[in-house]
Chain A
């Protein structure tokens, strides 16, 4: 499948492809053993708190968890020379593409002829590395329960907006933000249920770490179970198409022109 659109300079900062899995008996020692497998591509590691992305969204209130063993962390495997980051925890695996302050150009979701390796293709190859590792270590075969695809855009203060309502120039969703009172910030989530997958569009404030500039993160996220009858590729193609189409619908003509949209 080819990506049918291209942006010369999109506001995209990061793309995340990930899966939630079960069936693997992961323990502390496997971080190091897995590092030995990938250190050629990812020489640096960071220990991070585990993410609960794939936890049920059904109970938002107080949750009591009886913990009998120390919680295993999330481990990052990364390289200063690569836009790709691996995130591994006992039940989840992610590949992130990161712009890294403009050091890298988005290679598209699927690899294009003569282009850099696409995010999907990188994910497939790293996931295969991980599965092979699990088999080799005889710790079980990861069974994918759910998948996650996120496109994270940064709208930076002074570059695309001065006051939050200026974002309506770029995002249709934010049109009509009219009030006699000034809008100080934005924090919202819209959920679209289309093509069997839920798409979350989140708008929230943040600060860019590199230069402390204010920005709004506008991300489009699909996280859902992997249907029994479908494969990984079908799920990610569907989610990618959904995000791409919704992004085009939700952004203005002016934005398309500004970001250098072309088709084909």
Chain B
């Protein structure tokens, strides 16, 4: 008897709360959602992708899902989609305007699964986002990664940025270890006014890749004439 009482007392002590107040959150039967998980979105998307995207927009618009999370969930689905759904995903990613998340997600997906299309789409979105994508592109350029090749022309043509900023970011590519990146830089310089590109051409004229170096030297010579 005494041991039964002690056991009961132990149980009460373990389960009783020591503080004077409790969490005051209603334990509802969920007619309203106060958030959405990636799993919820994925399940909705499987059933009706357009409706799932519409719902995601409502949740992000009301601050119940961050645009960063929404971009992370949505970007990988672009490659699997076709036709008007693909177009819709692109539009919504543009609407979220999260270039940093787009680039991070695209690079992670590319490393994991390959397929350059992922990078091409990210580059296209960055180009369409415009000047607001510059900080994310600058970080990418400084990373010296080989995937920068796809993004060189985006920076060379990015609308709405100062020439000085453009040239500073492009200069990062001149020291990229990947010769494809440096060659891409050389090609992209054609889109810029001649008087701005001389320092970059000068850098490329001493490139370890003789093809790049000789082409840059020839171009420099033609400008000096």
Instruction: Please give the residue numbers on chain A whose beta carbons come within 8 Å of chain B beta carbons, in ascending order.
Output: 13-14, 16, 18, 20, 22-23, 25, 51-58, 76, 78, 85, 87, 91, 94, 96, 98-101, 140, 143, 145-146, 148, 150, 152, 154, 184-185, 189, 191, 198, 200, 202, 204-210, 212, 214-215, 217, 219, 221-225
Contacts and interface: CB of A to CB of B under 8 A. Distances in A.
A222 B24 contact: yes
B22 A224 contact: yes
Interface string B129-152: 000000000000000000000000
B19 interface: yes
B46 interface: no
Nearest to B18: A56
A151 B86 CA distance: 43
A75 B198 CA distance: 72
A18 B205 CA distance: 77
B23 A52 contact: yes
A206 B34 contact: yes
B59 interface: yes
B15 A22 contact: yes
Contacts of B21: 57-58, 198, 223-224
A228 B167 CA distance: 76
B31 A13 contact: yes
Contacts of A99: 31
Nearest to B65: A207
B31 A57 contact: no
Contacts of A224: 21-22
Interface in B55-97: 55, 58-59, 61-64
A16 B26 contact: yes
Contact of B26 (A101, A150, A208, A212): A150
B28 interface: yes
Interface in B10-36: 11-12, 14-34
23 contacts: A14-B29, A14-B31, A16-B27, A16-B28, A22-B15, A22-B16, A23-B12, A23-B15, A52-B23, A55-B22, A56-B17, A57-B22, A57-B23, A58-B18, A78-B29, A145-B12, A145-B16, A205-B34, A205-B63, A207-B55, A214-B58, A214-B61, A221-B26
